[in-house]
Amino acid sequence: MKRALPILAVLAVLLAAIAIVNPFFLEPAGFLSFVRRAAPLVILAAGQYLVIVSGEFDLSVGSLVTVEVVVAARLIDGDEAATWPVLALLIVLGLFVGLVNGAVTTLLRVPSFITTLGMMLVLSGAVFLWTGGAPRGALSQAFRMFGRQTGWAVLTLVVVAVAAVLLMRANFGRTLIAIGDNERAAALSGVRVTRVRLIAFTLSGVSAAVAGILLGGFAGVSAQVGQGLEFQAITAVVLGGVVLGGGRGTVIAAMAGALTLEALFTLLNLYGVSGALKFTVQGVVLIAAVAAGAIRLPFLDAPKVKGDAHAVS
């Protein structure tokens, strides 16, 4: 929890700044609609966190989100009765893609950057090969409910967040962090490294499926729905103070990082910063956050880090 403090403080400042410009934000409806907008990214960040903290990357989540939405639209095609079976199928699809990513990375020893980059090409190619170049079909009303209605989106987010926190407190979470910190030490102390990493990738795939379901309802069907989301999710996780290379950071901080990113976008919109310049601000904030974290470490946090390393191993 201590590690999540800086990002929570930044988040609080940003939320306060939004509330000053836009008082509607303080009302439950205003705040919840912000949370609904942020939900897909927060869920993706939770999934990406699992992979990053174990020392890997998942670059395929953006195209996986697109695939989920396009597949849903084509299979449902406006048919209400098809909603639930398709939802189940989407989750299975996410699970399967994550499993393949994990298997190729762990069993074939391909660096996850390459595995998931390849998966990204395969997914975006395959789905449009199947639909003939452009998304087709339409989502049902019941499907769109998840992303559109604030209650459902927030509920989904809360369920995912609680599950992620519980998971990280369980044995699985501790071994996952141990693997990211020192894979060999973890293996020698009896952790089944391959299995734990496989589960992390699989869960990342599932989180992309859930995010895709929410985004499909919220943003509708398009070929660009997932574009760039993988980098946004990684940005969010890193903003939360999670270290690339693994072993450091909490899932709460990663999700708070996603909320912070979304709050930053909201704030920039409110101040009328042009659409393009928001990327510039995002880049500056990303670098500044990581540089600040890295510079402070040797002077202030050195003893703490040592203690942590002990606790982990």
Partner 1 sequence: MTQNVLADGRARFGALVNPTSVVFLALAGVILVGWALVAVDGGQFLTMETVVGVQQRSAALGIVAVGQTLAILAGSLDLSVAYLISLASLVAAVTMAGQDSNIVLAVGAVMGVSALVGLVNGLMISKLRVHAFIATLGISLIIKGILGDLYDGPAGRVPESFQHLGYDRLGPVPVSALLWAAVALVAWFLLRRTKYGYRVYAVGGDVEVARLSGIRTDRVIIITHVLCSLCAGIAGLLLASRLGAGAPTVGTDGGYDLESIAAVVLGGAALAGGRGGVAGTVGGVLLLAVLDSVFNQLEVNSFFKDVVRGVVIVVAVAVYARRTGLIGRRRT
List of residues contacting partner 1 (CB under 8 A): 57, 59, 104, 108-111, 113-115, 117-122, 124-126, 128-129, 133, 183-184, 187, 231, 234-235, 238, 243-245, 274-284, 286-287, 290-291, 294-295
Q: How far is the CB of 285 from partner 1 (least distance, A)?
A: 8
Shortest spacing between CB 243 and partner 1, in angstroms? 8
Residue with Cβ nearer partner 1 (26 or 294): 294
Of 57 and 218, the one with the shorter C-beta distance to partner 1 is 57
Q: Which is nearer to partner 1, 117 or 142 (CB)?
A: 117
| 115 versus 156: smaller Cβ distance to partner 1 | 115
CB of 151 to partner 1, least distance (A): 34
CA separation, residue 291 to residues 239, 244, 288 (Å):
11, 13, 5
Q: Which is nearer to partner 1, 24 or 279 (CB)?
A: 279
CB of 298 to partner 1, least distance (A): 9
Instruction: Report in angstroms how near the CB of residue 76 gets to partner 1 at its nearest.
Output: 22
Distance between CA atoms of residues 211 and 209, nearest Å: 5
